[in-house]
Amino acid sequence: MSTRLTRAGRLIDPTRPLEFRFNGKRLRGFAGDTLASALLANDQMLVGRSFKYHRPRGIVASGAEEPNALVNMGAEGRFEPNQRATTTELFDGLSATSQNHWPSLEYDIGAINTHLARFLPAGFYYKMFIHPRPFWKHVYEPFIRQSAGLGRAPKARDADRYEHFYAHVDLLIIGGGVAGLQAALTAGRAGRRVLVIEQTPHWGGRAPVDGGEIDGQPTEAWIGDALAALSEMANVTLRNRTMGAGIYDHGYALGYERVSDHAPDGGDAPRHRLWRIRARHILSATGAIERPLSFAGNDLPGVMLAAAMRDYLVDYGVSPGDRTVVVTNNDDAYRTAIALKEAGLEVPVIADARDHATGPLAERARGMGIRVETGMGIAAVKGGKRVTGVALCAQAGEGAAREYVACDAVAMSGGWSPVVHFWSHCGGKLTWDRAGAMFRPDADHPPTGQDGLPMVTAAGAANGAMMLDACMADAVAQARLATIAAGGKARKTAPPEVECAAEQAIEPVWIMPQGAPIEARSKMWLDFQNDVKVSDVQLAAREGYESVEHTKRYTTLGMATDQGKLSNINGLAVLSDALNAEIPATGTTTFRPPYTPISLASLGGEAHGELFQPIRKTPIHDWGDANGADWEPVGLWRRAYAYPRDGETVEQAVAREVTNTRENLGLLDASTLGKIIVQGPDAGRFLDMLYTNMMSTLKPGRCRYGLMCSENGFLIDDGVVARIDDQTFLCHTTTGGAERIHGHMEEWLQTEWWDWKVYTANVTEQFAQIAVVGPNARKLLEKLGGMDVSPEALPFMAWADGQIGGFDIRAYRISFSGELSYEIAVPASQGRAFWDALMTAGQEFGVMAYGTEALHIMRAEKGFIMIGDETDGTVIPQDLGLDWAISRKKDDYLGKRAQVRSFMANPERWKLVGLETLDGSVLPDGIYAVGQGRNANGQANVIGRVTSTYHSPTLNKGIAMGLIQRGPERMGEVVEFARTDGGRIPARIVSPVFLDPEGERQNV
């Protein structure tokens, strides 16, 4: 059994017991425990079920590389699936549950899959679910969805807070082990601004567990001194619980700080903090990860990485087993055997796959009375939910068992792989180190930054320097290079004195034993989390998958949440062997950020709720709030859709507003309309290029409706242009288009016609603009008094400056409703006062505010187009019957050349018409018109679609506009629209101008 030893672990505080729950069971741990160490201390070796076969799985590792021990944490707004027990710090009241089992962890129905393993090989889904076709939707997909995914997504809203930090440093050091701390000392002493981030709560990495001396003192003491020295330096920042998540272009890096995961009741601290770091240079001191060995049954609970077992023993005082068999191909696992033996636990045998083991560590183990068998491996692990023993065999053979050894734990070590992720994220290349049996950073091909120079330096174990002496020597050398790259000066210094045991060379072992038969290879797990075995990769190779990237996707090797931290190298070695290729020729898959999964909420930071986007409010917004406005977002603006009164529905309010505006008087807050000043000697010439019509001939004091197209010929905006004086125009844009059109103008001015003398300014927010609309519009303005607003003084499509009711205003006689209409601009600061004055004086004329929906209905009744309704980026003015607004006199305008392309002039194009159902009902928005016959896919041929559709309160029937093939030639024809339920709606093609085609209402 796994248990807590009386000898305290290095990291736990035995005076502070903590209580927690696992699957509802009350358990006890100590401050300093991880959830994994506390579970092991309570003999909870079984922590989950595997993804595909639902095999029982236990804790394998002690850090970020853990594939099995994924748990659900918390509840409700703090529920989170897939949390690694090995990186979850224990706190009082922690509650975790295991995943991927039904009905319980101990008894799982899905475990029957393990007996079906023969039928669930690599590529199973691709092979199985392709036929018969109709089965996909109704049988296969629901089945796969049911069994797909690890854990369940939370349903409640996240109860925690998240934030972003921004940091600019000379040198970012990822990893706070001895190499990272050494580098921090070098760069810190050189006066560089240094940020050191370490993913665990502890500094020094695994050096204190592995032993050795630096500068004549134990590593732990050296680490303490280094931390003390660094904390004295104002230019050095140390952050633990902060993982390097990824490195991006030009020295940009993300750090992921778990601020209060370990103390969830810590007041108002955020839960996670995303560090957005810009560094001149980055040093990756991320250490190395131990590899499993591939032997049959290597996934049984109780089989652990040798170094992880040593961590649990030394750091937490937890022994994963009473009798532990150690299996290895290198010397490091001997440290585990020695540590177990020193703790008074049994190590019946060390099975070393190498043909001799004569290094000092092996000799020391032998000296302690541990039996060492060389040339030996494990033929099979015995047991169900827990290891009960192993069968030993010759590594060189086919797995004939030599001996059965009873044990309750197995410590395995297949060697170490440097964590090269941060070297690789931005394109650093790797080199295969044959002697070390590992990929390590290729110093000749580093990732480069904006100056073309190396952007990342790897140091220590992350650079392949595994032994403590080599690691420190490399750290000193690389720290100097990194400090110089970060803009500092650093002299060559001698590495510190290091004492550590010499190690005999590793011998790569990818399959144990060498000639294992298929039955054994089908039980050798490569990827524990995604249930990928040696036999799956070999099958993929036989089926022609030669690229490691293809094999990864076919077998799902390395595609789980651990991204193959344990499985990648073993998997590609097996693939290389199956392909008869060298390992470097096969290569690795791509290392992509983040290093381990980070919370989506941390990426969002504070940008949610009210802080998600700024909200733009007009000067009249508060009046709307006080008068029941039903707001809708238009870009970042809030506009009133309608102003429902007591007891009214929104629909009723819209109808009332339309009717009242047509019969009496309506006010619209049109302040959001874009207003751009275009000024200069070449302003007219410039606008002639931007608009399809001629603007240079417009007379001061007059307005003209204009269309803007992209260079591709498509409509992008429309609006009324007023000529202020000889050199000044005011261009109105759509509400959503103001910034975009201003940018469009600037782009052409800056990049094409930079010698034209024109300035532009977006003055949208400088003015409030109010549309005074309806038969009583003039009466209201005359009552307020001031300038002459008679038809003679201010005819349709004219504008004038003046005063009304004591306000300095500019009145435009323009109409988007077809009624008598004045759009009146006042300085923004006067907007609300002017609105109130109009409202008060307008009472006797029946004044009411109207919102955007009434505006839309009234423009549709008049057949006026709306950018974004009648246009969608593929519509040219000619499609909308707007040929009258295209100048034929101009040599050029943006879009002119494009509009003479053959398909733009094709008479078969869909063109704007009005549509009326035969029964007066309202057509659904966006509905398609269908014609004769079917297309090659058996679908009805589509001949058009509805672009705007409303119930017209004025005409008391449904009205719509749409684009129909050859529409204007088909007036009076009835076309059919296809409902989604298969039904058809007939509608007649009519003129899009439903009301007052002569314009008698507005020209008064």
Partner 1 sequence: MLVLTCPYCGVAAEETELHAGGEAHLKRFGPGASDEDFTGYLFGRENPKGVHFERWLHANGCGKWFHAARCTATLELFGTYSAQLTEPPEPIRKAISAKRPGWRWREFS
| Residue ranges in contact with partner 1 by CB under 8 A | 248-252, 278, 427, 448-452, 711-712, 743, 746-747, 750-752, 754, 891-892, 896-898, 900-901
Nearer to partner 1, 432 or 753 (CB): 753
The tokens 């619209």 sit on which residue? 668
Nearer to partner 1, 375 or 680 (CB): 680
The tokens 């629209």 sit on which residue? 977
Minimum CB separation of residue 739 from partner 1 in Å reads 10
Which long-range contacts (C-beta less than 8 Å, at least 24 apart) are formed by 220-228? 220/10, 222/178, 222/496, 223/178, 223/181, 226/178, 226/181, 226/182, 226/184, 226/185, 227/181, 227/203
Minimum CB separation of residue 494 from partner 1 in Å reads 35
Minimum CB separation of residue 873 from partner 1 in Å reads 14
Q: Name the token pair of 769.
A: 């603009």
Nearer to partner 1, 751 or 956 (CB): 751
The whole-angstrom separation of Cα 259 and Cα 860 is 55
Minimum CB separation of residue 894 from partner 1 in Å reads 9
Minimum CB separation of residue 246 from partner 1 in Å reads 11
The whole-angstrom separation of Cα 178 and Cα 98 is 35
Nearer to partner 1, 95 or 710 (CB): 710
Minimum CB separation of residue 922 from partner 1 in Å reads 39
Nearer to partner 1, 250 or 356 (CB): 250
Nearer to partner 1, 736 or 786 (CB): 736
Minimum CB separation of residue 248 from partner 1 in Å reads 5
Element of type H or E holding 743? helix 738-751
Closest CA to 330 of 301, 369, 359: 359
The whole-angstrom separation of Cα 32 and Cα 8 is 11
Nearer to partner 1, 16 or 897 (CB): 897
Nearer to partner 1, 320 or 446 (CB): 446
Minimum CB separation of residue 746 from partner 1 in Å reads 7
The whole-angstrom separation of Cα 580 and Cα 571 is 14
Across the strands, what pairs with 239? 197
The whole-angstrom separation of Cα 35 and Cα 93 is 12
DSSP state of 136: I
Could you tell me which residues come within 8 angstroms of residue 243 by beta carbon, excluding any fewer than 6 positions away?
64, 197, 199, 255, 256, 257, 258, 595, 596, 598
- The strand pair at 288-290 and 303-305 is best described as unpaired
Other CB atoms closer than 10 Å to residue 515's CB: what's the count? 13
Nearer to partner 1, 435 or 900 (CB): 900
Minimum CB separation of residue 609 from partner 1 in Å reads 21
Nearer to partner 1, 792 or 892 (CB): 892
The whole-angstrom separation of Cα 320 and Cα 3 is 7
Nearer to partner 1, 602 or 948 (CB): 602
Nearer to partner 1, 747 or 919 (CB): 747
Minimum CB separation of residue 916 from partner 1 in Å reads 39
Nearer to partner 1, 747 or 969 (CB): 747
Minimum CB separation of residue 897 from partner 1 in Å reads 5
Main-chain dihedrals φ then ψ at residue 1002, nearest 5 degrees: -90, -25
Nearer to partner 1, 232 or 892 (CB): 892
Q: How far is CA 574 from CA 54, 526, 553, 582, in A?
A: 24, 9, 16, 11
Minimum CB separation of residue 426 from partner 1 in Å reads 8
Minimum CB separation of residue 425 from partner 1 in Å reads 12
For the chain, how many helices (H) and strands (E)?
25, 52
The whole-angstrom separation of Cα 268 and Cα 830 is 42
Minimum CB separation of residue 478 from partner 1 in Å reads 22
Outline where 797-914 has alpha helix (H): 831-842, 852-861
Minimum CB separation of residue 451 from partner 1 in Å reads 7
Q: How far is CA 831 from CA 159, 378, 766, in A?
A: 41, 84, 10
Question: Is the peptide bond preceding residue 132 cis, with omega within 30 degrees of 0?
Answer: yes
Nearer to partner 1, 716 or 858 (CB): 716
Contact status, residue 662 vs residue 954, Cβ threshold 8 Å: yes
Closest CA to 673 of 769, 771, 811, 744: 769
Q: Name the token pair of 339.
A: 């540590």
Contact status, residue 484 vs residue 512, Cβ threshold 8 Å: no
The whole-angstrom separation of Cα 524 and Cα 537 is 11
Interhelix angle for 306-316 vs 332-342, to 10°?
40
Nearer to partner 1, 195 or 455 (CB): 455
Minimum CB separation of residue 757 from partner 1 in Å reads 14
Main-chain dihedrals φ then ψ at residue 317, nearest 5 degrees: 65, 35
Minimum CB separation of residue 245 from partner 1 in Å reads 14
Q: What is the dihedral of CA 846, 850, 855, 860, to 10 degrees?
A: -50
Nearer to partner 1, 530 or 762 (CB): 762
The whole-angstrom separation of Cα 831 and Cα 804 is 13
Minimum CB separation of residue 900 from partner 1 in Å reads 8
Nearer to partner 1, 451 or 582 (CB): 451
CA torsion sign for 756, 761, 764, 768 is negative
Angle subtended at Cα 176 by Cα 172 and Cα 178, rounded to the nearest 5 degrees: 120
